[in-house]
Structure 1
Amino acid sequence: MPSSLPRTAAVPALVSLALACGLVVAAGPASASGPASASGVRIHGIQGTTRISPLVGTPVADVPGVVTGIRAYGGSKGFWFQDPHPDANPATSEGLFVFTGSAPKVEVGDSVKVSGKVNEYVPGGAASGEQSVTELGSTQVTVVSSGNPLPAPVRITARSVPAAYAPHGVAGTGDSINGLRLRPRTYALDYYESLEGMNVSVTNTRVVGATDPYGELWVTVKPSEDANRRGGTVYGSYDEQNTGRVQIQQQASTADSPFPTANVGDRLRGTTRGPLDFNQYGGYTIVAGHLGTVVDKGLKREVTAKQKPGQLAVATYNVENLAPTDPQSKFDSLASAVVRNLSSPDILSLEEIQDNDGAKDDGTVSATETVRKFVDAIAAAGGPTYAWRSVDPENDKDGGQPGGNIRNVFLYNPARVSFVDRGTADATTPTQVVATHGKPDLTLSPGRIDPANPAWNDSRKPLAGEFIFRGRTVFLVSNHFDSKGGDESLTSQHQPPTRSSEVQRLAQAQAVNSFVKDIRKVRKNAEVVVLGDLNDFQFSPALAALRKGGVLNDDIDSLPVPERYSYVYQGNTQTLDHILTTPSIKDFQYDSVHINAEFAQQDSDHDPQVLRFRP
Structure 2
Amino acid sequence: MKLLLSLFVSVTILTSISFGLTIGQINGPRYLSPYAGQNVTGIRGIVTAKGPSGFFLRSVEEDLRSDASNSIYVFGSTFLRNITVGNLIALDATVAEYRSSTAYIYLTELTNARNLKILSSLNPVVPIAIGQNFATYPPAQQFSGFDNGDVLSIPNNSSQISVKNPVLDPTQYGLDFWESLSGELVSIQGLTAISKPNSFGDTWITGSWNVTGRNGRGGMTMTDRDSNPEAILIGAPLDGSDNPADIRLGDSLEDITGVVTQAFGFYRILPLTSLAVAGTKIPASVAPTTLLSNGTSCNQLSMGAYNVENLTPTSTILPSIAKHIVEYLKAPTIMFLQEIQDDNGAVNDGVVSANLTLTTLVNSIKAQSNITYAYATVNPVSNSDGGEPGGNIRVAYLYQPSRIRLHNANPGSSTDANAVSLGSDGIPELKYNPGRIDPLSAAWSASRKPLAAAWETLDGRNVFYTVNVHFGSKGGGSSIHGDLRTPVNGGVANRLMQANVTADFISQILALSPSAKIITAGDFNEFSFAPPLISFVSLSGLQELDEVAKTPVEERYTYLYDMNCQQLDHIFVSPSLAARPVGLEHIHVNTWASVQDQISDHDPSVALLDVCE
For the superposition of Structure 1 and Structure 2, which TM-score range results when normalised by the shorter chain?
0.7 to 0.9
1:523–1:185 CA distance, 2 compared to 1 (3 A)? closer
1:555 matches 2:545: yes
1:93–1:412 CA distance, 2 compared to 1 (3 A)? same
CA deviation string 1:260-302 (max 9, x = no partner)? 5322222123x21111122346x22111113354311224313
Give the structure 2 partner of residue 6 of structure 1: none
1:265 matches 2:239: no
Give the structure 1 partner of residue 152 of structure 2: none
More off after superposition, 478-487 vs 417-426: 417-426
1:147–1:376 CA distance, 2 compared to 1 (3 A)? farther
Alignment check: 8 A CA contact 1:109 1:150 kept: no
Q: For residue 580 of structure 1, report the CA deviation from its aligned partner.
A: 0.5
User: Counterpart amino acid of 1:48?
Assistant: G
Q: For residue 36 of structure 1, report the CA deviation from its aligned partner.
A: 8.3
Give the structure 2 partner of residue 521 of structure 1: 511
Give the structure 2 partner of residue 133 of structure 1: 107
1:57 matches 2:37: yes
Give the structure 2 partner of residue 301 of structure 1: 286
Structure 1 alignment gaps of length 5 or more: 1-13, 28-34
Q: Secondary structure at the match of 1:482?
A: coil
CA deviation string 1:145-203 (max 9, x = no partner)? 89745632111116222345245239999333442111223433211110012111210
Q: For residue 582 of structure 1, report the CA deviation from its aligned partner.
A: 0.9
Counterpart Cα distance in 1 of 2:50 and 2:345: 40
Alignment check: 8 A CA contact 2:140 2:211 kept: no
1:322 matches 2:311: yes
Q: Secondary structure at the match of 1:611?
A: strand
Q: For residue 510 of structure 1, report the CA deviation from its aligned partner.
A: 0.9
User: Counterpart amino acid of 1:593?
Assistant: I
Give the structure 2 partner of residue 441 of structure 1: 429
Q: For residue 440 of structure 1, report the CA deviation from its aligned partner.
A: 1.7
CA deviation string 1:510-558 (max 9, x = no partner)? 1111101112233222211111111111222222222215710100112
Counterpart Cα distance in 2 of 1:459 and 1:499: 17
Normalised by the size of structure 2, how large is the TM-score?
0.86
Q: Secondary structure at the match of 1:519?
A: helix
Superposed, which structure 2 residues align to 1:45-124 within 5 Å? 45-61=25-41, 63-72=43-52, 77-100=53-76, 109=85, 111=87, 116-123=93-100
Identity score, percent: 31
Q: For residue 452 of structure 1, report the CA deviation from its aligned partner.
A: 1.6
Q: Secondary structure at the match of 1:337?
A: helix
Alignment check: 8 A CA contact 1:274 1:289 kept: yes
Give the structure 1 partner of residue 262 of structure 2: 278
Counterpart Cα distance in 1 of 2:244 and 2:64: 37
Give the structure 2 partner of residue 381 of structure 1: 368
Counterpart Cα distance in 1 of 2:79 and 2:319: 44
Aligned length: 581
Q: For residue 15 of structure 1, report the CA deviation from its aligned partner.
A: 10
CA deviation string 1:383-440 (max 9, x = no partner)? 5232212222223322223443221111112222213474453322212112221222
Give the structure 2 partner of residue 567 of structure 1: 559
Counterpart Cα distance in 1 of 2:91 and 2:293: 68
Q: For residue 337 of structure 1, report the CA deviation from its aligned partner.
A: 1.2
Q: 573, 595, 599: which one pairs with 2:593?
A: 599
1:442–1:93 CA distance, 2 compared to 1 (3 A)? same
User: Counterpart amino acid of 1:50?
Assistant: R
More off after superposition, 149-158 vs 566-575: 149-158
Alignment check: 8 A CA contact 1:41 1:63 kept: yes
Counterpart Cα distance in 2 of 1:581 and 1:103: 65
Q: 464, 468, 471: which one pairs with 1:478?
A: 468
Q: Secondary structure at the match of 1:335?
A: helix
Give the structure 2 partner of residue 539 of structure 1: 529
Q: 187, 200, 211: which one pairs with 1:214?
A: 200
Normalised by the size of structure 1, how large is the TM-score?
0.85
Give the structure 2 partner of residue 204 of structure 1: 190
Instruction: Supply the RMSD in Å over aligned alpha carbons.
Output: 3.2
Counterpart Cα distance in 2 of 1:298 and 1:16: 40
Counterpart Cα distance in 2 of 1:550 and 1:352: 24
User: Counterpart amino acid of 2:286?
Assistant: R
1:155 matches 2:135: no
1:138–1:464 CA distance, 2 compared to 1 (3 A)? farther
Give the structure 2 partner of residue 487 of structure 1: 477
Alignment check: 8 A CA contact 1:78 1:98 kept: yes
More off after superposition, 603-612 vs 518-527: 518-527
Give the structure 1 partner of residue 151 of structure 2: none
Q: For residue 579 of structure 1, report the CA deviation from its aligned partner.
A: 0.5
Alignment check: 8 A CA contact 1:25 1:120 kept: yes
Counterpart Cα distance in 1 of 2:366 and 2:276: 44
CA deviation string 1:128-161 (max 9, x = no partner)? 3x32222344555847489745632111116222
Counterpart Cα distance in 2 of 1:481 and 1:468: 26
Q: Secondary structure at the match of 1:250?
A: coil
Give the structure 2 partner of residue 359 of structure 1: 346
User: Counterpart amino acid of 2:432?
Assistant: L
1:343 matches 2:330: yes
Q: For residue 568 of structure 1, report the CA deviation from its aligned partner.
A: 2.5
1:463–1:107 CA distance, 2 compared to 1 (3 A)? farther
Counterpart Cα distance in 2 of 1:571 and 1:475: 36
User: Counterpart amino acid of 1:47?
Assistant: N
Counterpart Cα distance in 2 of 1:170 and 1:554: 26
User: Counterpart amino acid of 2:353?
Assistant: S
Superposed, which structure 2 residues align to 1:28-47 within 5 Å? 38-47=18-27
More off after superposition, 207-216 vs 507-516: 207-216
CA deviation string 1:64-93 (max 9, x = no partner)? 444444554xxxx54444335433244111
Counterpart Cα distance in 1 of 2:302 and 2:540: 23
Q: For residue 338 of structure 1, report the CA deviation from its aligned partner.
A: 1.1
User: Counterpart amino acid of 2:498?
Assistant: Q
Alignment check: 8 A CA contact 1:169 1:494 kept: no
1:101–1:475 CA distance, 2 compared to 1 (3 A)? farther
1:504–1:82 CA distance, 2 compared to 1 (3 A)? same
Counterpart Cα distance in 2 of 1:323 and 1:103: 54
Q: For residue 509 of structure 1, report the CA deviation from its aligned partner.
A: 1.0
1:149–1:247 CA distance, 2 compared to 1 (3 A)? farther
Alignment check: 8 A CA contact 1:209 1:217 kept: yes
Alignment check: 8 A CA contact 1:529 1:582 kept: yes
Alignment check: 8 A CA contact 1:566 1:608 kept: yes
Q: 209, 231, 235: which one pairs with 1:245?
A: 231
User: Counterpart amino acid of 2:106?
Assistant: S
Alignment check: 8 A CA contact 2:343 2:351 kept: yes
User: Counterpart amino acid of 1:190?
Assistant: D
Q: Secondary structure at the match of 2:428?
A: strand
Counterpart Cα distance in 1 of 2:365 and 2:123: 59
Q: For residue 96 of structure 1, report the CA deviation from its aligned partner.
A: 2.6
Q: For residue 113 of structure 1, report the CA deviation from its aligned partner.
A: 5.4
Counterpart Cα distance in 1 of 2:503 and 2:172: 42
Q: For residue 340 of structure 1, report the CA deviation from its aligned partner.
A: 0.9
Counterpart Cα distance in 2 of 1:403 and 1:140: 55
Q: Secondary structure at the match of 2:253?
A: strand
1:288 matches 2:271: yes
Counterpart Cα distance in 2 of 1:192 and 1:595: 33
